[in-house]
Amino acid sequence: MTPVGIEKIGVYPCSLALSLPALCEARHRRADDICAPMMLEERSLNPLWEDPVTMAVNAANAILTDDDRRRIELLVVATESGVDFEKPISTWVQRYAGLSANCRNFEVKHACYGGTAGTQMAASWLASSAPEGAKALVVTTDQSRAHFGKPWEFVLGAGAAAVVLSREPALLEIELGRCGYWTNEIADLTRPTATVETGNSETSLVSYLDALDGAYEHFVQRVPEARQFDDYFHRHVYHMPFGGMAWRAHKTMLRTARDVSPRDAWTNFERKGLAALRYARRMGATYSSSTFIGLLSLIDGTPDAAAGERVSIFSYGSGCCAEFYCGRIGADAHRAARGAGVAWRLDARRAVTVDEYQAIEQQRLAWAECGDYDVPRDALGDWYDRGYRGRGLLVFDGMTDFYRQYAWS
């Protein structure tokens, strides 16, 4: 069978960063009690002139070539931060990323699982009925809503990932059919209105671990040799609502096969999965982008990861659905990971104070149901001029009669 999988991934990590220790101080919490167990240092934040559409487009344009644009015939945008209840983000991405008009496109919603659903659909299309030379683009884009003073405020974030899939999987060859999935209707987290994001975080964490167990059990029914978890997989990527959750998940998986001490479990995680948290530590929750950013981080942060090594990937979405699948590191994976330039993009963000962060989110809330407004460019001093002007990034201009306005910086 012709190999199918991920050719490259682009990431847009937003242009603002909020220090977690600073947020802890403002909320009268000890940073050591939050940052260490959550494995977080910063969280990404959008200025008022960015939204899920601009993040999606800017992530895609960071990696697409003119040849990619001609060959992409399937576009899937996964988000739980949709900006319209009817019009899909995918049509804006098709337009502003310069894709062909002959491009099947749609938006999919399934909490943090949506990107994996889109990726599996795209991979199956490439393996079955896609025309010769065709490619697929899956874009994941999300931002947190305001949660001032809530316990989970510390783990929120924003970001987008653009995943190009083809029959030339330089980054990761997906092992088609080697997957397990598990679903259970549950009201753990939800976004019932245009401004509310709520639920029970403890219920969600328990559901995550139940889903991990269920999806893995389904996987080993199909791939019995994977029961030897530590031997079968060389590397691991887990969905990360926060970095510390990946560590909890890995401990759980190791203990399904044998007794293991906390010290040995940590040593194993350091060697096989910790590098996947490097970017997540600085971005916070990236929702459906989490596993793709984690995969880039794992490869870029593990110089000895070799082509052909098998990587397990676990994706979880509230509500809920989960999938455990795997792939093999591609022959050009390290070059593809370096080419994404995530580290320097993170370094290039502007640090914001807690007061600036609160002002941004309060203004965004105030506009949530407004149909006419202009977005000011001076809300963060000269940041627009320094970080955007002349760089050709898509920016959000505001609303005119409820239609969103976009422009190039």
Q: Which of 110, 234, 236, 239 is catalytic?
A: 239
Which of 14, 103, 112, 326 is the catalytic position?
A: 112
Nearest to 292 by CA among 394, 171, 122: 171
Backbone φ and ψ for 352, nearest 5 degrees, come out as: -115, 150
Respond yes or no: is residue 370 known to be catalytic. no
Sequence letter at residue 104 = R
**For residues 103 and 202, is the Cβ–Cβ distance under 8 A?**
no
Distances in whole angstroms, Cα of residue 276 to Cα of each of 14, 151, 209, 212, 237: 19, 25, 19, 18, 6
Task: Compute φ and ψ for 314, nearest 5 degrees.
Answer: -120, 125
Token pair of 378, please? 């001076």
Q: Which is the catalytic residue, given 42, 80, 175, 361?
A: 80
User: Is 62 strand, coil or helix?
Assistant: coil
Which residue in this structure is represented by tokens 């609160």? Answer: 358
Query: Is-cis flag, bond preceding 320, omega within 30?
Result: yes
DSSP string over 256-321:
HHS---HHHHHHHHHHHTGGGGTTHHHH---GGGHHHHHHHHHHHT-TT--TT-EEEEEEEETTTE
Check: CB of residue 144 under 8 Å from CB of residue 158: yes
> What proportions of the chain, in percent to the nearest 5, are helix, strand and coil?
40, 25, 35
334 is catalytic: no
Helices (H), 134-242: 201-222, 229-232
Helix (H) or strand (E) holding 244: helix 243-257
Instruction: Round to the nearest angstrom and report the end-to-end CA distance of the chain.
Output: 44
Closest residue by Cα to residue 104 from 139, 75, 133, 70: 75
In this structure, is the dihedral angle defined by the CA atoms of residues 104, 61, 197 and 207, taken in order, positive or negative?
positive
199 bridge partner residues:
189
Catalytic annotation present for 250: no
Q: What are the catalytic residues?
A: 80, 112, 239
